[in-house]
Amino acid sequence: MTASVVLDEVELFYGDLRATQQLTFDARAGELLSIVGASGCGKSSALRAIGGLLEPRHGKVVVNGRAVEGPRPSEVAFLFQHLALYPWRSAVRNVEIALEFAGVPRGERRPRALAALRTVGMDEFALHHPAELSGGMRQRVALARALASDAGILLFDEPFAALDEYSRMQLGIEVLRVLEAEQKTVVFVTHSLSEAVYLSDRIVAMTPRPGAVAEIIEVALPHPRHPDMMRSPEFHALTDRLTELLFADRTSERA
Amino acid sequence: MSTAARTATPLARRILASPSMVYIYVVLAILTIWVVLSSLGSVPPVLLPTLGETLQQLAAIVSDPETLFANVGATAAEVTLAFAFAAVAGVALGVVVGSRTDYSRAYEPLLANLNAIPIVLLYPLLLGAMGSGGEAKVVIGAISAGLPIAIATHWAVRGVDRDLVVAARSMGARRLSTVRSVTLPAVLPGVFSGLRTGLSLAIVTVVAGEFLSATVGLGLQLARAGESFQTAALFAWLIVTAVFTAVMIGLLSVIQTLVIRKVNA
């Protein structure tokens, strides 16, 4: 399978603070790749580097065969942790803004935005403002915005972190269905080990800052995923392995 | 859901909680207290005229539109000029100081401390230097109004959610479209709340300046009526001033609605 995203010995810095060291992994076309690790290990920074928002000091980031030099919205779309919905814009206009920035002609924006909202089941709420929507509904609008640009690669930065366990699993499985239907490649940063195992094809476990790859784990669970799988021995073996990796030598430290 | 909840409340409570009805209650309450106090006779008429006398004086003012418009026009011109200077300079200053963390840390305390000084104290100085024409009032009005506008704008700019700007960049927005579609709509409510405060202060400061020294204006009429114990005339001019203030603030609200609609379209 071809790689959509390649990170090759990437070193990211914030001023003098080293976020990652020699971070190397790839995301294959059409897969859902999770990145897990302690807070501050550089997993969100890695996403920003893929999206062209953070330039590596060393190493290189390649997306669809071309080195990343800045945001490429037609190929890569973000779903941010705090969603970054514009509070003064209705749901449909929040989706339209991505099309506006991408240079889509005015007349085409509304139908495309509505189609994206339909994909996530939010077309009924097109004219609602973010403050009028529940947390899960806002997630869907943000997802619709990420889908609207037709980018093949989606970067998820803990988008479900604010949801309760039940909604997060429920929404996660729905999102997975949409992404599979649209054949998207997803790089998914999460704090939740069970969420990572439940949704991913592969999982990159990172070491604490400066982050490097501790191990890349294949998730052999069949698709489509189902909540019952969370009770299977394979599921537990994988979460155990991740726990072992992430908490191996820092059991006394808070994550 | 909110509409359903509203229609479910009893009629009485709906009337009580209606924003436009509130004004009617407040005015009725003030008038009632006024009439009761003046008819009890416990307050001397020189302090509190009757409603009837005041309305007579008001009718006299309105029946002489030339004098009325000369005074309202003079005050309106001074307030408008002071506010216009304050709005342009205050917003520009607020944007510059708010645009960078180090500027903000250095200059925001200065603005806040200047704003705490009652600028009207400078009137004797400026009236001496500039005379009793409109100039001194415009200068003091502009300074008094400009500081809160600058401070409000500064906080509005500081308060722009960085995530929204980063998101715009990730979606391919260039600098100019980020300012147009993200920064501007995000700061407008804060800027307009500063403008409202600024406009009120400009009115207060200009009218107070006219108290002290003027050849024409609402403040001069208030001072004249007060100094000659024509309390009914004083109350009538107070009503004129209140209506004038309401119209100015109302105009600003209309501008705010139009601008926000235009920017968010």
DSSP state of B149: H
**Is B169 close to A86, i.e. CB distance below 8 A?**
no
Question: What are the residues of chain B with a beta carbon less than 8 Å away from any beta carbon of chain A?
Answer: 161, 163-164, 166-173, 177, 181-182, 185-186, 264
Is B208 within 8 Å of B75 (Cβ atoms)? no
What pLDDT does A170 receive? 82
Torsion of CA A164, A167, A173, A178, to 10 degrees: -120
Q: What would the DSSP string read from start to end of A92-154? A: HHHHHHHHHHTT--HHHHHHHHHHHHHHTT-GGGTT--GGGS-HHHHHHHHHHHHHHTT-SEE
- pTM confidence score: 0.81
Task: Give the number of other Cβ atoms within 10 Å of residue A249's Cβ.
Answer: 8
Q: Which of B172, B177, B185 sits opposite A71 (nearest CB)?
A: B172
Is B141 within 8 Å of B78 (Cβ atoms)? yes
Of B206, B243, B236, the C-alpha closest to B222 is B236
Instruction: State in Å, rounded, how far the first CA of chain B is from the last one.
Output: 26
Of B158, B131, B139, the C-alpha closest to B212 is B131
Alpha-carbon distances, residue A124 vs A86, A114, B104, B123, B262 (angstroms): 19, 9, 43, 60, 26
Does residue B197 register a pLDDT over 90? yes
Read off the pLDDT of residues A162-220 as tens digits, 9 standing for 90 and up. 788 888 888 888 888 888 888 899 999 998 888 899 889 999 999 888 888 988 999 98
Read off the pLDDT of residues A122-153 as tens digits, 9 standing for 90 and up. 999 999 999 999 988 999 999 999 999 889 99
Nearest CA in chain A to B181: A97
Strands A66-67 and A58-63, bridge-based pairing: antiparallel
Of A47, A77, A2, the C-alpha closest to A206 is A47
d(CA A102, CA A112): 13
d(CA A200, CA A186): 9
Please give the structure tokens belonging to residue B180: 């147009």
Please give the structure tokens belonging to residue B119: 């600028």
Note whether A31 contacts B: Cβ–Cβ < 8 A: no
What pLDDT does A250 receive? 55
pLDDT tier, A255 (very low <50, low <70, confident <90, very high otherwise): very low
Scanning A51-80 for CB atoms below 8 A from B yields 51-53, 71-74, 76-78, 80
What pLDDT does B46 receive? 83
Task: Give the number of other Cβ atoms within 10 Å of residue A223's Cβ.
Answer: 10
Burial of B224 (0-12, 13-18, 19+ CB in 10 A): middle
Tell me the mean pLDDT in the region A221-236: 86
Q: With contacts defined as CB-CB under 8 Å, which chain A residues touch B166?
A: 53, 80, 84
Element (H, E) at A33: strand A32-36
What pLDDT does A252 receive? 47
DSSP state of A164: -
Tell me the Cα Rg of chain A.
Answer: 18
